[in-house]
Amino acid sequence: MSSIGGVRRGTLLLSDPFLDDPNFIRSVILICETNEEGHLGLILNQRVTNLSVPDVVEDLDDFEGPLFLGGPVDKDVLQFVHRLGNQLADSVHLGDDLYWGGDFEQLRTLINIGVVHEDDVRFFVGYAGWNKGQLESEIKNDVWVVSHLDELDDLLALSTDALWREVMKNLGGKYKAISNFPLDPRMN
């Protein structure tokens, strides 16, 4: 797996607890692509509250999984991560048993015949993106805490409401203490 500035596919970015950018408050971002032009990632813990997957994807029989906001860029683009591995052609391995993208028509068929369930795949509208050098600069300036998929048991099984806190706590040391910081420090 290639690594640009220490960031590679499967890297998890946890926002600084006091980051005030409304797009990324308490976000956990999964890096899906990294190359010389920059990085692309998906915010794992921001549900779209007014839509579900069937609202944006036609012909999915009985699939009621939630829809997530992958980031502020290209919100009309649908992306997905899954645990299907080689069952889905053209998937990109991110680490452990997690994959990004692949043949969407094949995925639709697998969902409709009942092989794929809501806890096997997560759909996103939009993504987070960084130009060359931008993410590395943000990491250097402590905007993001870096972790990796291989440091977790099952990312898709973790509650999205507590994901930031759980991944931060899993890092141990000072991050365990940071995981308990209140969203608004004035409330402490």
Report domain extents, the chain.
3-187
In the chain, which ranges are E strands?
3-4, 7-8, 11-15, 28-35, 38-43, 47-52, 66-69, 73-82, 92-95, 98-100, 121-131, 144-148
Q: Are 11 and 146 in contact (CB under 8 A)?
A: yes
pLDDT digits (tens, 9 = 90+) for 77-107: 999 999 999 899 999 999 888 999 999 999 9
- For residue 176, what is the DSSP state? H
Class of the CATH domain delimited by 3-187? alpha beta
pTM, rounded to two decimals: 0.91
**How many CB atoms sit inside 10 A of residue 1's CB?**
10
Which has the higher per-residue pLDDT, 1 or 168? 168
